A and B are shown apart, each in its own frame.
Chain A
């Protein structure tokens, strides 16, 4: 069974609008971490945001916020005010012993 599910293979968003990228996870471990990474065409994985399973508040990093719904095992990434440079692959990942990645969502920002 997949541990990280990203149901949106590709998404389009208009520049300056907000967009939500979906991620659900599966674990029985009470201690885990959730990550979002951005991978532009250059290949580098860029860390965006982190949420620990015991964190009470939703994580925020600039224009990125993580909508963490623990009971639903959901960790959606919200990007506010999209920019053309946000066009990239976005990966949700969960850390138990090691990092397990979803298949990714390709985000395209339209001018």
Chain B
């Protein structure tokens, strides 16, 4: 079974631009959640989607948004990028119906210049 796939692996943007990150969950998993990891703040929860609906949202500004498609693939968008948005963005999938274990992808390393 293929794992969680995140694309792209690396991304370089400039301030003010917007970016879209993609995540394909493990086949059969309907829950996708996103996390931001920085050296200063550690790992922080962004949001979770289940069956195309946002279930939870972390404490991030409205510039951070996401969505989930009918095939459970998810995208995360960050608009008007700021230097502080430079981070590793991790996506995780789980089968909420049967267990709580989250499986992560390799992440997208975003650098904002």
Contact = CB atoms under 8 A, between A and B. Distances in A.
Given A97-B56, A99-B33, A103-B42, A44 B48 contact: no
B76 interface: no
B45 A44 contact: no
Interface string B50-90: 00000110100000000000000000000000000000101
Given A99-B33, A103-B42, A104-B42, A44 B104 contact: yes
B42 A50 contact: no
Contacts of A93: 43
A42 to B, nearest CB: 7
A45 to B, nearest CB: 4
B4 to A, nearest CB: 9
B106 interface: yes
B102 to A, nearest CB: 6
A104 B105 CA distance: 18
Contacts of B100: 33, 50, 52, 95
Nearest to B42: A103
